Amino acid sequence: MLSLDDVTVRYGDTIAVDDVSLDLATGQVLAVLGPSGCGKSTLLRAVAGLEPLDSGTIAWDGIDLAGTPTHRRGFALMFQDGQLFAHLTVARNVAYALRLRRTPSARVATRVRELLALVGLEGYDDRLPGTLSGGERQRVALARALAVEPRLILLDEPLSALDATLRERLAGDLRSILHAAGTTALLVTHDHEEAFALADRLAVMRSGRVVQSGAIDEVWREPVDEETALFLGYARVLRGDAAARVLAAAGLRTAYALALRRSALVVDATGPLRARVVQARVTPEQVRLVVGVDGVGTLDAVAPLGSRVSPGDETGLRVDVTRLAILPITRAS
Amino acid sequence: MRRILALLLLAAGPVLVLGVLFVLPVTGMVAEGFVADGRFAPGAVLDVLARPRVHRVAWFTVWTSGVATVLSVVLGLPAAYALHRLALPGRAAVRAALLVPFVLPTVVVGVAFRQLLGEGGPLGALGLDGTPAAIVAGLVFFNVAVVVRTVGVAWESLDPRPGQAAAALGASPWQVLRTVTLPALRPAIVGAASIVFLFCATAFGIVLTLGGVRHATVETEIYLLTTTVFDLQAAAALSVLQIVVVVGLLALAARLRAVPDPTAQRTVTPVRAVRRSDAAVVAATGAVLAAMLVPVLTLVLGSLRVDGGWGLGNYRALSSTGDNQALLAPVTSALATSLRTAVDATWMALLVGVLVATIVTRRSHSRAERRVRSTLDGFFMLPLGVSAVTLGFGFLITLDRPPLDLRDSPLLVPMAQALVALPLVVRTLTPVLGGIDDRQRQAAASLGASPWRTLLTVDLPVTWKPMLAASGFAFAASLGEFGATSFLARDDSPTLPVVIFRLLGHPGAMNYGMALAASVVLAAATATAMLLVERLRVPGVGAF
């Protein structure tokens, strides 16, 4: 189990990681989610032993890692773009850590075959990294990282260098591979989709601090403040009277602040809210609307595909309670 | 087709210049070897190559160059790492200091080592004066900078992340170096080593001043054969041998050095703080620095010794013509000649070099065009492969009669020096020009910029600094040029290196002291030019 206690990392005068404490149980995948420049990559590098700490401790199973250099930590690090060794073939890349440990060559060959099968790249043994596509390179990097069964695998935006379709496919594969191998993993990313696709637990980081952490659905359902809500993919945050009106329409207890997903308001002729359609756009899943709601203002809403709504129409809206989150903030904060 | 024609038209100028000033003299020199008594007699070349002395000279050249190359690489690697990857205090100054030996005029280096190793010198007790070891030491002194610079620049732009990934996979720092870093640096190391070998094998001033007649390399042997023995045929035969070997070596080096995509290499890794584990590397760098400074310091101190005391007498004597009328013109006027010549050589080298660099780096639209460009590229690199002595002597025997009689032209020496400096200029500029993404020019054009305007707004802002740096290189190289100039400089208006060599050859304590003082002045002039270059260096670009 990995534990970070009050970890602080400075670059000169700027504090990149500010007093961060996190725990990661064996076998779990933790995603650290935050915008670029929030210090998440520095945190990952600190765990890998590539950045010295200014204060705090990073420990594995209760043993402080401060004096342990990177190569003795038994972690594996996988970069955004794989960082394969360009002068080695795919098989040699995967076998790299095995050879360092002087594994017998017959055993190396078997393990390389196993790993390449695991990542779906059988027969790629003799290819050079330069001839692979981005997705293939990431798979090789993953196989290389898994080769010696590291006690922790560190992933630095493993999917963000890939295009959308590939990302979705590899995300599914990556998750099942990590679970099949029972690997503990720490992932940093700025993309909440990537975090949701891979992780069990989530820590949201902003300007060097962890602002919220917990099981992924908890964090998702109860973002701690407006910025976190928006970063997690909520479309709008309402406050005061506007929030009260929408909550009343949903039949929920009133609160000061409310975060809404794009699909929280659904067109329904009998719905409790009255609205006028401002804009309508067809997407593959549903019709996306921008509506003006009486006493609330401009909001997003959706209608099922095929519904006849066009700008200027008056319509009713109902509230989907699974698609909103009440924020634990008050007028004073 | 129109593009290729335009390209050839643009290339016509530089090709003509190189044709007349390089190909003609060199073939003239080579032809001497194949023609005996007005008849074509290729057998004579083989006869020369069979002489035992030639064998000795060739073997001496190969082994001294080989040993010097290995030592330069071994000493240069730690310094390259420390100076380009660690946040050492005073890093820029140390880097510039290490670069000085490379541009020090070869004659000056020779003088400095004689002063250091000779009788009464600080290391005189070692008895190394006049031995091959002294020559090797001189060559290493001269070439460590090439390794530090070439490999350092590559190391600077090397992505640290594969190494970190390897460390995370369990590789110790030593294993990371062996399995990840050195393989990634291989092109740079091979490139540096082959260039160093080339410089060592064609070194002239150092070997001549330190080895004299006893220890001759192919290069000094060509000089001795032409100037003292007048055996032109043998000299020409040796030139042919040298050209064949050197061109072969250059081609091999180009293959080994080939980088798939030069534009992808333009990242610069920030330096990191020095840690305790870097102690060995820092100490090695310090040792190299000390080894570079000692000969220079000895030279400076030596120039201040007058009749057993200290004083500026040697410097004051620079306005005289020396003891026993050693010179026809005072050293001060030689300095003026040197500076004037260097200015001329610089603008010539820059003019041709900019054209050449532009021609070879523009993106090709067809395979034929690419072939034309790469042929031109190889052609313009040829001066790097031919010894300055061959070039100088070739000038002397081919450009002395109509239609092109340059014997009395004041531009003869600058032209020869410009040719020697041309590869340096081209090598400084091509990576910069080649590194400009062609899409930037396309973007400028799509926004309505004419080709001229594109040049002005896209290319020039990136290249003016490297262009100044290239001028500095050319200026320094021309100031110190000795091989070709020793043939071409007229007795009444010699350049400073020629004067220094002449002073060394004339007996008299005064003359020796003047040689030391003149060396210091020359070294100071080139060092100033180099310091300016170092200030203008673009990180991650430029070999040496």
Tokens of B225: 């054969």
Distance to chain A for B189, nearest Cα, Å: 15
For residue A218, the enclosing domain spans 2-230
Question: Average pLDDT, whole number, for chain B?
Answer: 81
- pLDDT per residue as tens digits for the range B332-341: 888 888 999 9
Q: Does residue A181 sit in the same domain as residue A67?
A: yes
Residues 6+ apart with CB under 8 A from A220: A196, A202, A232
Residue B308 maps to a domain: no
CB pairs under 8 A between A and B: 72
- pLDDT per residue as tens digits for the range B443-464: 777 777 777 788 877 888 878 8
Residue B34 maps to a domain: no
Please indicate whether, in this complex, the C-beta atoms of A74 and B170 are within 8 angstroms of each other.
yes
For residue B135, the enclosing domain spans 42-303
Which of A302, A315, A306, A316 shows the shortest CA–CA distance to A261? A302
Residues 6+ apart with CB under 8 A from B407: B399, B400
Q: Does residue A52 sit in the same domain as residue A188?
A: yes
The highest-confidence range among A98-112, B23-37, B365-379, by mean pLDDT, is A98-112
Identify the helix (H) or strand (E) that includes residue B118: none
| Confidence band, pLDDT 50/70/90 cuts, at residue B1 | low
Q: Does residue B184 sit in the same domain as residue B326?
A: no
Average pLDDT (B289-310) is 84
- pLDDT per residue as tens digits for the range B40-88: 777 777 788 888 888 888 899 989 999 999 999 999 999 999 988 888 8
Phi, psi at A12, each rounded to 5°: 60, -120
Angstrom distance (rounded) from CA B183 to CA B195: 19
Dihedral sign for Cα B132, B134, B138, B143, please.
Answer: positive
Domain boundary among B303, B338, B372: B303
Q: DSSP character for B363?
A: P
- pLDDT per residue as tens digits for the range B365-420: 777 777 888 788 778 777 776 778 888 888 888 877 766 777 777 788 898 889 88
Q: Residue B162: closest CA among chain A residues belongs to which residue?
A: A83
Domain boundary among B239, B271, B303: B303
Q: What percent of chain B has pLDDT over 70?
A: 92
Q: How many domains does chain A divide into?
A: 2
Domain boundary among B303, B338, B361: B303
Q: Does residue A146 sit in the same domain as residue A292?
A: no
Q: Does residue A292 sit in the same domain as residue A188?
A: no
Q: How far is CA B45 from the centre of its chain?
A: 29
| Confidence band, pLDDT 50/70/90 cuts, at residue B260 | very low
Residue A208 maps to a domain: yes
Q: Does residue B56 sit in the same domain as residue B190?
A: yes
Residue in A73, A76, A87 closest to B184 by CB: A87
Angstrom distance (rounded) from CA A228 to CA A35: 10
Pairing between strand A29-33 and A201-206?
Answer: parallel
Report pLDDT for B263. Answer: 40
Q: Does residue A188 sit in the same domain as residue A272?
A: no
Residues of B with Cβ-Cβ distance to A96 under 8 angstroms: 166, 169, 171, 179
Q: At what angle do helices B367-385 and B232-257 cross, to 10 degrees?
A: 130
Residues of A with Cβ-Cβ distance to B278 under 8 angstroms: none
Pairing between strand B400-401 and B404-405?
Answer: antiparallel
Q: Does residue B332 sit in the same domain as residue B292?
A: no
Residue-by-residue DSSP string for B128-173: -TTSHHHHHHHHHHHHHHHHHHHHHHHHHTS-SHHHHHHHHTT--H
Q: What is the largest CA-CA distance in chain A?
A: 75
Report pLDDT for B447. Answer: 75
Q: Does residue B260 sit in the same domain as residue B382?
A: no
Distance to chain B for A130, nearest Cα, Å: 10
Q: How many domains does chain B divide into?
A: 2
Q: Does residue A81 sit in the same domain as residue A211?
A: yes
Q: Does residue B365 sit in the same domain as residue B253?
A: no
Q: Does residue A88 sit in the same domain as residue A131?
A: yes
Q: Which of B157, B169, B180, B276 to mutate to test the interface with A (most CBs of A within 10 A)?
A: B169
Residues of B with Cβ-Cβ distance to A144 under 8 angstroms: 165, 169
Our CA dihedral for B245, B246, B249, B253, rounded to 10 degrees, sits at: -170
| Confidence band, pLDDT 50/70/90 cuts, at residue B326 | low
Q: Does residue A115 sit in the same domain as residue A246?
A: no
Which of B237, B202, B246 shows the shortest CA–CA distance to B220? B202
Q: Does residue A259 sit in the same domain as residue A225?
A: no
Q: Residue B184: closest CA among chain A residues belongs to which residue?
A: A87
Residue A304 belongs to domain with CATH number: 2.40.50.140
DSSP E strands: which ranges in B389-532? 400-401, 404-405
Please indicate whether, in this complex, the C-beta atoms of A85 and B162 are within 8 angstroms of each other.
yes
Residue A333 maps to a domain: no
Residues of A with Cβ-Cβ distance to B182 under 8 angstroms: none
Residue B63 maps to a domain: yes
Residue B529 maps to a domain: yes
Domain boundary among A181, A204, A230: A230
Residue B266 belongs to domain with CATH number: 1.10.3720.10
Please indicate whether, in this complex, the C-beta atoms of A69 and B167 are within 8 angstroms of each other.
yes
Please indicate whether, in this complex, the C-beta atoms of A48 and B168 are within 8 angstroms of each other.
yes
Residue B453 maps to a domain: yes
Q: Does residue B175 sit in the same domain as residue B107?
A: yes
Q: Does residue B257 sit in the same domain as residue B293?
A: yes
Distance to chain B for A112, nearest Cα, Å: 15
Q: Does residue B112 sit in the same domain as residue B232?
A: yes
Please indicate whether, in this complex, the C-beta atoms of A85 and B166 are within 8 angstroms of each other.
yes
Q: Does residue A155 sit in the same domain as residue A265?
A: no
Please indicate whether, in this complex, the C-beta atoms of A96 and B166 are within 8 angstroms of each other.
yes
Q: Does residue B457 sit in the same domain as residue B491?
A: yes
Residue A187 belongs to domain with CATH number: 3.40.50.300
Angstrom distance (rounded) from CA B91 to CA B68: 26
Angstrom distance (rounded) from CA B87 to CA B377: 37
Q: Does residue B159 sit in the same domain as residue B48?
A: yes
- pLDDT per residue as tens digits for the range B106-162: 888 888 888 888 777 777 777 777 788 889 998 999 889 889 888 888 888 888 888
Average pLDDT (B30-49) is 75
- pLDDT per residue as tens digits for the range A251-266: 888 889 999 998 899 9
Report pLDDT for A25. Answer: 92
Among the ranges given (A123-137, A261-275, B106-120), the one the predictor scored with the smallest mean pLDDT: B106-120
Q: Does residue A9 sit in the same domain as residue A44?
A: yes
User: The tokens 């050249």 sit on which residue?
Assistant: B61
Residue B35 maps to a domain: no
Angstrom distance (rounded) from CA B422 to CA B427: 9
Q: What percent of chain B has pLDDT over 90?
A: 6
Q: Does residue B390 sit in the same domain as residue B416?
A: yes
Are the CB atoms for A18 and A208 separated by under 8 Å?
yes
Residue in B159, B175, B184 closest to A100 by CB: B175
